[in-house]
Structure formats: C-alpha cells, structure tokens
Amino acid sequence: MKFFVLFFISFIFSVSTNAANLKQFTKKNKEPLHVTSKKLTVFDKKGLYEFTGNVVAVKGDVTLKADKVNVLRNNKTGDIEKIVCIGNVVITKQNKKAVADKAIYEDKQQKITLIGNASVTSDKNKIKSDMIIYFINKDYAVAQSTNAKKRVEVTIYPNKKRSK
C-alpha cells in the first residue's frame, strides 16, 4: 500500500504555484508508510482494507487523518484502485492542508474529490467549497458548490517580492 498517501498530496499541491513539485510527488517513492487505527479489517478476496477509528497515515512529511479509510486493491495486480476517507479528513504537508468530510481517490481517472466542507490551504491562500475535484494528470482543479445558497470562496495573497 505504498501509494496510499501520495494521491492526496498531489491535491494539496494544486493550490501552489510549482507544478513540478506536484508531478514529482505523485511518482512512487521508497519511503515507508505507517498507518495506525483502532481497527483494521481485511477482506482479502475483495481486496478491501478497512481502517476504522482515528486513522492516521504518515509517509515522509505527509500526514493523513480520518475517522475511516477504505482501500480497494486490484486482486490481480495488487495496485490500489480507489481510496475513500470518511469523517474529519485532514491531509497536511508542511504549510499545506486539505480538509473535507469525505475524500475519494480514483486511480483509473487519476482524480481526487474532496466532498463536504472542503478546503485547501497553502500558506495563507485558501479555496473553500462544497466539493473540490483535482485531476492529477491534467493538472487542474474544479471547485463547485452543490448548494444554491453557497458559493466557492477563494482567497489569494500576493507573493512577497524578492530582493535582488
């Protein structure tokens, strides 16, 4: 399950200005993944790993927290096909943070979806919406409201001028 956290990190980087970092981080690396939870249930024939109860996954300087995390693997290839994080989802890396009620990673579509009270923060810059979808290979994101009374909120601060 070495690719478990990598998908989320790419989304966090979507609000940063350095696309090279995003693409570099989504590549597989050899850092170990450490997951803790109150319970792990494995449905081997289905390829389903169900982590429940204060799930914390750490890989390098990236931390994922959620109430529940389901990982669906392809039984033939062993590759992760889909990851669903439910409840109090928080993903952090240095000064970047993604928060949502639910997060879904779909490998085939190379897509990450944050649903419900979704926000992504990089330094002081912030995107807030009901739903934020990030297309990893296409390197773009869509934030949208699912409620007619709510709107997408974006706060962008100017970059600090560098002295010569």
**The CATH number of the domain where 57 resides is what?**
2.60.450.10
Q: Is 127 helix (H, G, I), strand (E, B) or coil?
A: strand
Q: Where is pLDDT greater, at 162 or 87?
A: 87
Mean pLDDT, residues 59-85:
89
Asked if residue 27 belongs to a domain, the reply is yes
Mean pLDDT, residues 66-93:
91
The whole model's pTM is what? Answer: 0.76
pLDDT grade for 12, boundaries at 50, 70 and 90: very low
Q: How far is CA 35 from the centre of its chain?
A: 15
Q: Look over the chain and give the mean of its residue pLDDT values, rounded to a whole number.
A: 79
Domain of residue 104, residue span: 6-155
Q: Kindly report, residue by residue over 107-145, the tens digit of the pLDDT.
A: 888 888 999 999 998 888 999 999 999 887 887 788 998
Q: Provide the domain count of the chain.
A: 1
Q: Is the pLDDT of residue 159 over 60?
A: yes
pLDDT grade for 25, boundaries at 50, 70 and 90: very low
Q: Kindly report, residue by residue over 27-60, the tens digit of the pLDDT.
A: 455 677 788 999 999 999 999 999 999 999 887 8
Predicted confidence at residue 164, as pLDDT, reads 57
Q: Where is pLDDT greater, at 53 or 79?
A: 53
Per the rule left: phi > 0, alpha: psi between -120 and 50, beta: everything else, 53 is left
End-to-end Cα spacing for the chain: 45
Asked if residue 42 belongs to a domain, the reply is yes
Q: Is the pLDDT of residue 7 over 50?
A: no
Cα-Cα-Cα-Cα torsion 114, 129, 60, 23, nearest 10 degrees, comes to: 80
